[in-house]
A = this chain, B = another copy of it.
Amino acid sequence: MSQMQSVERQLREMILALEIGPGERLTERWIEGRFGASRTPVRAALLRLETEGLVGRDGRGWTVSPINLAELEQIAVYREAVEVAALRLTCMHAERGAIDVIEAMLDSCDENTPREEWHRVGMDFHIELARLSGNEFLFRAVRDAMTRLSRARWLEVRDETALGRAWLEHRAILAAARLGQADEAARLLSAHITGSRGRLVTSLANDRRGLRARGFAVVAA
């Protein structure tokens, strides 16, 4: 694996895992030293992560993108558009086996599963479901949106019941898709996304003080 891709991957993981906090400043030289690479691959990584919205320019320098509540709401709207479109396509030519694989993902989580795994599977459920549409651009759009949302979802204060409800909704969506009921599946997915958007933004807004205390830049809606 080239260093270029390696730096990009490692830096992305650090940002998504909040090891580098939202709003933190980045210098190319620090990254260079941190990953033992020279500036060429570092720059390539920053340029790529910029298009993913994970880092941004701050005048002359770079910063890890802050959590922006207004932006999160816009992403959720965007996500709903592309994810519902993908799901409708999937309903048209749903393959039994493919949907079973997604369902198995959900089954893999139980009460003994660590929280971070629930988090990851919850994201992958939506991404893999979009992949089934067969439309590369809808798939990429969903994956990109989920990536942009993932740090915020990680910060969200979620109770157990919320996770349980999400899983029930996921299963209901799959059931409708399996039967090819596009309108019903779309309705369920829209409700699921709208609901989780509301809870996400509310939770972050309520905990904004706490998040700032942890050094995380959180921009209001």
Residues of chain A in range 129-171 having any CB-CB distance to chain B below 8 Å: 135-138, 141, 145
Which partner residue on chain B sits nearest A47 by CB separation? B47
A71 at the interface (CB under 8 A from B): yes
Report A191 CB to chain B, min CB distance, Å.
16
Of B77, B136, B138, which one neighbours A89 at CB under 8 angstroms?
B77
Q: Are B74 and A136 in contact (CB under 8 A)?
A: yes
Q: Are B78 and A82 in contact (CB under 8 A)?
A: yes
Report A21 CB to chain B, min CB distance, Å.
23
Residues of chain A in range 50-78 having any CB-CB distance to chain B below 8 Å: 51, 71, 74-75, 77-78
Residues of B within 8 A of A14 (CB): none
Residues of B within 8 A of A77 (CB): 85, 89, 135, 137-138
Residues of B within 8 A of A179 (CB): none
A44 at the interface (CB under 8 A from B): yes
Residues of B within 8 A of A219 (CB): none
Residues of B within 8 A of A89 (CB): 77
A199 at the interface (CB under 8 A from B): no
One digit per residue, 1 when the CB lies within 8 angstroms of any chain B CB and 0 when it does not, for chain A 113-138 equals 00000000000000000000001111
Q: Are A75 and B137 in contact (CB under 8 A)?
A: yes
Q: Are B43 and A138 in contact (CB under 8 A)?
A: no
A48 at the interface (CB under 8 A from B): yes
Residues of B within 8 A of A71 (CB): 136
Q: Are A135 and B78 in contact (CB under 8 A)?
A: yes
A81 at the interface (CB under 8 A from B): yes
Residues of chain A in range 14-50 having any CB-CB distance to chain B below 8 Å: 40, 43-44, 47-48
Which partner residue on chain B sits nearest A83 by CB separation? B81
Residues of B within 8 A of A82 (CB): 78, 81-82, 141
Of B44, B78, B85, B136, which one neighbours A137 at CB under 8 angstroms?
B78
Residues of B within 8 A of A145 (CB): 137
Docked CA distance A81–B135 (Å): 12
Docked CA distance A46–B12 (Å): 20
